[in-house]
Chains A and B, each alone.
Chain A
Amino acid sequence: MAPVLELEGITKRFGAIEAIRGIDFAVEPGEVVGLMGDNGAGKSTLCRIIAGTFAPTTGTLRLNGHEVHFRRPSDAREEGVEMVHQDLALCDNLTAALNVFLGREITFGFGPFRFLDRGKMQARAGELFAELKSETRPGELVKRMSGGQRQAVAIARTRLSEPKVVLLDEPTAAISVRQVAEVLELIRRLRDAGIAVILISHRAPDVFAVCDRVAVLRRGEKVADKPVGATSPEEVTGLITGAIEYA
């Protein structure tokens, strides 16, 4: 299958510091790729380039074979690249439905007089939560929700449009074991919908549970990219720390 997202020779410098260097990377529709590496290895930088937070210094990004240049996150969103941030980027003072639609509100009215269509947003958010098989009530304040439900709200957001690629930044870092299972289930649902998923994680068990492939970054370079069946948590750990050079 043709890759939906392709990166070629992506390098990013911040002043004298080279955060990532010559990264080639591709994901196919319906594929879940784990992106692993130690703190400072360049995982976040790479993700932010894909999600449009900043542009690469050199290298090209292609979506469905077409070269794209994102200048801001909304550009990436328009092309079907959605990101779930590590802190989920939720407003605790708003309901789940309003959080899902934040920045892309549904309105009705005429001319300059436009009003929020809370009913429609509530209903659509409810559908998205149901698709994700999540016990999340659209009318409830996010403040009162569990970690798993909060993840569901952030993931539901990515499905408002027809996303091609969804990036998840450490979605399992700050939640309980039981909720981790919930989140991994959410990721499988994205995959089943034919969406390419990039999962950034520190946790080898999660990556091995849900991913088809794992890529390892170390000090800004990609040192491994192979199917999970062809590697092991031990090998990945060795690659992350540098005990194993390349694989």
Chain B
Amino acid sequence: MTTRELGRPSIDYVGLLARFAAPLFLLFLVVLFAVLEPRFLHPLNLMNILRQVSIMGLVAVGMTFVILTAGIDLSVGSVVALAGLVGAYVAKGGLDDRFAVGAAAAAGNPVILAVLAAVAVGAACGAMQGAAITRLRVPPFVVTLGGLTAFRGLALIFSGGGPISGFSPAFVWWGQGRIYGVPVPVIVFALVAAVAHIVLRYTRFGLWIYATGGNSAASELNGVPIRRATFSAYVIVGLLSGLAGFILSARLNSAEAVAGLQLELDVIAAVVIGGTSLFGGIGSIFGTVVGVVLIGVLRNGLVLMNVSSFVQQILIGLILVLAVAVDQRAALRRS
């Protein structure tokens, strides 16, 4: 054993940089946009950014659990659409007056039933995929790629191709309402992220998620129920996708089968930019929130500066690769 090992560990600058790369980059973007475009810092604009990212953020929180177990869920966009439609269907009490507005829109079931239905559908989608992954031992990429097309197909059949729109004010409030000026979706996102943070950081289940992703064989030998942990992660992402689907319907006052197209890409990008390793075992909800907000800030700032949305796509792609590159460097330095 060398003296260096015995003493305090030397400060790992690359590791520190990697750990705070995303928050620092977010700060840099905020300052940059604030200087280039003063309207950026207007409270209304900042609230707008948060509202825009909160639906993607809900899904990203769930995705963090899955990626921490070294898995992936490509089906989230399709689950959002399917769950949103089911929630809308329940709220309407059927498809008879699917475009109704005004007084007719208020008919149907209480909003709470719609929420429960959407969440239950999402959780069921997650449970099916989780079972296929843990019991049939099909790799998550394949299972959820199947889910991506199958749930989208189911949504298209269920909706008959058309949207369901025109909801009661109580329903729409979940997407468009505000509490003390803060949009409801932002509050829901913040609450969900806070609970998820506590679960991952402070509970036995959270530790099992990290352990499963870190070394599943070793975890199993030590009595960690790795299959239950993995299964639960897919149920959680499904459940949160269901909730996101409901809120998206409320926000748009319309549910359609093409909702959430390619959402999985944004969500995975946000989680990875937030420092969660695709190899599992490393990452945090805090990082995911930073990643989600970072994507929102980048989009919003570029729009304010009249940069084309095509350029935005290129930039987000570049940042994604850069984020992983910094992570890899840090991992190399550590080992």
Contact = CB atoms under 8 A, between A and B. Distances in A.
A91 B1 contact: no
A116 B203 contact: yes
A91 B218 contact: yes
Interface string A101-128: 0111101000000111000000000000
Contacts of B282: 93
B281 to A, nearest CB: 4
B5 A103 contact: no
Contacts of A62: none
Interface residues on A, range: 20 to 34
A102 B281 contact: no
A178 B1 contact: yes
Contacts of B5: 135, 146
Contacts of A148: 1
B64 to A, nearest CB: 14
A116 B207 contact: yes
Interface string A123-138: 0000000000001000
Contacts of A98: 207
B211 interface: yes
A16 interface: no
Interface string A71-90: 00110010000000101111
B318 interface: no
A94 interface: yes
A93 B203 contact: no
A102 B6 contact: no
Nearest to A142: B214
A90 B1 CA distance: 21
B207 A89 contact: no
Interface residues on B, range: 20 to 34
A164 B203 CA distance: 31
A105 B204 contact: yes
Interface string B175-206: 00000000000000000000000000011101
B1 A102 contact: no
A135 B4 CA distance: 12
Given A74-B223, A135-B1, A178-B1, A107 B204 contact: yes
A92 B202 CA distance: 19
Given A91-B218, A178-B1, A103 B334 contact: no
B281 A91 contact: yes
B174 interface: no
B11 to A, nearest CB: 13
Given A91-B214, A102-B224, A143-B335, A135 B6 contact: yes
A73 B223 CA distance: 8
Given A144-B9, A178-B1, A91 B215 contact: yes
A115 B282 CA distance: 20
Contact of B211 (A94, A146, A157): A94
B203 A114 contact: yes
A140 B6 CA distance: 12
A116 B222 contact: no
Given A89-B221, A93-B214, A93-B282, A143 B334 contact: yes
A104 B217 CA distance: 16
A140 B218 CA distance: 18
Contacts of A87: 218
B218 to A, nearest CB: 4
When A and B form their complex, which 8 residue pairs have the shortest distance between CB atoms, in order from nearest?
Answer: A103-B223, A91-B214, A89-B218, A93-B214, A93-B281, A103-B222, A89-B221, A102-B222
Interface of B: 1, 5-6, 9, 202-204, 206-207, 210-211, 213-215, 217-219, 221-224, 281-282, 334-335
27 contacts: A85-B218, A88-B218, A89-B217, A89-B218, A91-B210, A91-B211, A91-B219, A91-B281, A93-B213, A93-B215, A93-B282, A94-B207, A94-B214, A102-B207, A102-B211, A102-B222, A103-B223, A103-B224, A104-B223, A114-B203, A115-B202, A116-B206, A135-B6, A143-B334, A143-B335, A144-B9, A157-B222
